[in-house]
Amino acid sequence: MMESSKGFSSPRSTAFPAGLRVLVVDDDPTWLKILEKMLKKCSYEVTTCGLARDALKLLRERKGGYDIVISDVNMPDMDGFKLLELVGLEMDLPVIMMSVDGETSRVKKGVQHGACDYLLKPIRMKELRNIWQHVFRKRIHEVRDIESHEGLEGLQVTQSGFDQFDDGHFFSGEDMLTPAKKRKDLENKHDEKDFTDSSSSTKKARVVWSVDLHQKFVKAVNLIGYDSQIFYSGKDVTCLVCSAEVGPKKILDLMNIPWLTRENVASHLQKYRLYLSRLQKENDLKISYGGMKHSDLNPQDAARALSRQNSINFEQNDATNCNSRISGNNLLIQNLNSKSNEINPRGTTITEKSSPGISHSLSPLEQEMKFPAIDGITPGSYSWREVPEIQFHQENAGNQPEDCFRRVAVPMGGLQNHVQIDQLLPVTSISSKAQLPNLIETKPLNVDYAISSFTQASPVKTRIDSFPVPTKIHTGNQQAIQPPSTNKPSMESQAFNPSCVTNLESSQRNFSSTTPESAFTSPDEVLQVGWLQDYSTCLGLQNIEFPDFGDPSMVAEVPMHLYTALKFDFEQLSDQSELPVINQGLFIA
């Protein structure tokens, strides 16, 4: 404890909510000690407790005296779950469960009972460092609720949730948290723009498409397009992005951002499409030239094609992308609608409609391809796709046991995944390095599932049918979300869940088998590509691939900015408190 006083392993600042009051409950004194120490290193204020009873007592006595509870599951005097339950009942505190084993049923139970996280021992700093987020998440929701109820002009003006929250809503309130200062500097970096002229609020504030927002946007687009955009035709996978059915309205709905207007979305979509078409043009170029061969990655071509310096790294990314996973691209991206107008005509989509059947074994594949394809290219500091995101949404923890567990994260090479605050829904994550037996098995994967209710479902789509989706979800509660227009018996979005978890291999197989002839130069590449895709898909629609996973060489090829971006990911993973800032920086670039 002495040495804990300050700096500890992490060079960077500790999690910003220093002073978070954590109550640790564990019957094992050793663990208690360890945890205490670790937590203190995180600058939390720690109270330890060897007995659940005592803990409960403490909690009752000092209501509001703690911000979060971390409790072991196995305790002699009282089952951790019982404690969890009571806490949940009597006070509104986030509770993190922990245990040595990652037995599924347990974890499940924990989450079902309202645990906001489930940690497996041994617990690592990283995991602890981020627990504050659970506290925030709660508040975010609270705030959000309020906002959505009453008007929300004032603060909503710009930025996505995160920023606002940073701006003090949380702390200002009740108890806790000291770190006004620390937060300050964060704020400073980005709040200049918002409130500066709040006076002029009369005018419509310009929506800033933060990375965050964009993420949501892309996600929405993907969700919608999910069924329609991809189909498989012989050797080419054609991907129509943002075609037909994808409209601002739907996207808006999916995004579920109260203050966003359809126009905003439309505008963004416009931009997005533009971007995509540009992309695809470039791709076409490359393909037509060197399509089959490696040549396409030729930096020069790429460079040339990409020359537009404009949008930050986009192009660069492309280029890189091509470099590192050429084959993937060729294969995948064929036509985005080059010009939305051309392709848009509802006609285009026909294919997919008419081919519900093909989905079957392809389904998994499709998913794989889809995102990568759509978003196409590789991630960059800020690209038009989503931003790295490791997180799991889970809106109905209580409802479907099974479902709960589809979202499980297994840490990726040393990194640990953690919840990222999300405005949409309660987030539950399970972080551990151990694997949950049935759910996950092989690789480090992340699974991020679309919100169940999100299914857009146009009447026609049926594709999933043959897909093995055991449970169907019916959207129970999701706070603010209301898919007004389409309230589908959703199962689609969930449908692909399984694939992420277990389909690694199969998808690979699929991938290579379904696209045999294609330009792959080497089997390895095929694998790699397939893998990446799968992976990225799982990651959450579209994402970055993490260096850990990939073959090192790939990473090596990654140019600076990209690399930076990746690094950034990591940071994000371990310390999301700075996310907003960083994002913004990138975004604005």
Partner DNA sequence: GTTGTAATAT
Partner DNA sequence: CATATTACAA
Decide: is 278 part of the binding site for DNA (CB under 7 A).
no
Residues 343-382 within binding reach of DNA (CB under 7 A): 344
Q: Which residues contact 579 (CB under 8 A, 6 or more apart)?
A: 162, 420, 572
Least distance CB 225 / DNA (angstroms) = 11
Nearest to 359 by CA among 542, 470, 492: 492
Near DNA by CB under 7 A, which window of 94-102, 124-132, 257-265, 458-466?
257-265
- Residue of 60, 63, 184, 206 that binds DNA (CB under 7 A): 206
Decide: is 387 part of the binding site for DNA (CB under 7 A).
no
Decide: is 247 part of the binding site for DNA (CB under 7 A).
yes
Decide: is 184 part of the binding site for DNA (CB under 7 A).
no
Least distance CB 185 / DNA (angstroms) = 26
- Residue of 57, 60, 204, 360 that binds DNA (CB under 7 A): 204
Least distance CB 192 / DNA (angstroms) = 15
Least distance CB 484 / DNA (angstroms) = 9
Least distance CB 270 / DNA (angstroms) = 4
Q: Per-residue x/- mask for DNA, residues 307 to 346, rule CB under 7 A?
A: -x-xx---------------------------xxx--x--
Decide: is 202 part of the binding site for DNA (CB under 7 A).
no
What sign has the CA pseudo-torsion 534, 491, 236, 242?
negative
- Residue of 109, 121, 169, 268 that binds DNA (CB under 7 A): 268
Nearest to 164 by CA among 176, 127, 146: 146
Nearest to 18 by CA among 39, 2, 48, 49: 39
From CA 166, how far away is CA 427, in angstroms rounded? 18
Least distance CB 38 / DNA (angstroms) = 42
Task: Please give the DSSP secondary-structure letter assigned to residue 473.
Answer: -
Segment (H or E) for 116: none
Least distance CB 341 / DNA (angstroms) = 3
Alpha helices by DSSP H, listed for 344-393, are 350-354, 359-374
Of the pair 76, 484, the CB lying nearest DNA is at 484
Q: Per-residue x/- mask for DNA, residues 23 to 62, rule CB under 7 A?
A: ----------------------------------------
Give the type of residue at 563.
Y
Least distance CB 344 / DNA (angstroms) = 5
Decide: is 222 part of the binding site for DNA (CB under 7 A).
no
Least distance CB 207 / DNA (angstroms) = 4
Decide: is 193 part of the binding site for DNA (CB under 7 A).
no
Decide: is 483 part of the binding site for DNA (CB under 7 A).
no
Nearest to 369 by CA among 406, 408, 330: 330
Least distance CB 239 / DNA (angstroms) = 16
Of the pair 42, 265, the CB lying nearest DNA is at 265
Alpha helices by DSSP H, listed for 15-78, are 29-41, 52-61
The two three-digit tokens of residue 380, written as one number: 């960059």
Of the pair 383, 499, the CB lying nearest DNA is at 383
**Helices and strands: H and E segment counts in the chain:** 25, 8
The full DSSP string for 221-269 is: HHHHHHHHSEEEETTEEEE-TT-TT--HHHHHHHHT-TT--HHHHHHHH
Of the pair 126, 250, the CB lying nearest DNA is at 250
Residues 75-114 within binding reach of DNA (CB under 7 A): none
The answer to whether 332 touches 370, Cβ cutoff 8 Å, is: no
The two three-digit tokens of residue 220, written as one number: 């929405």
Near DNA by CB under 7 A, which window of 190-198, 266-274, 372-380, 409-417?
266-274
Least distance CB 240 / DNA (angstroms) = 11
The two three-digit tokens of residue 447, written as one number: 């699974």
The two three-digit tokens of residue 359, written as one number: 């989905």
- Number of residues counted as binding DNA (CB under 7 A): 29
- Residue of 23, 87, 140, 246 that binds DNA (CB under 7 A): 246
Decide: is 536 part of the binding site for DNA (CB under 7 A).
no
Q: Which residues contact 400 (CB under 8 A, 6 or more apart)?
A: 471, 473
Q: How far, rounded to the nearest angstrom, does the alpha carbon of residue 251 sit from its chain's CA centroid? A: 17
The answer to whether 177 touches 20, Cβ cutoff 8 Å, is: yes
The answer to whether 213 touches 178, Cβ cutoff 8 Å, is: no
* Residues of this chain that bind DNA (CB under 7 A): 204-209, 244, 246-250, 262-264, 266-271, 273, 308, 310-311, 339-341, 344
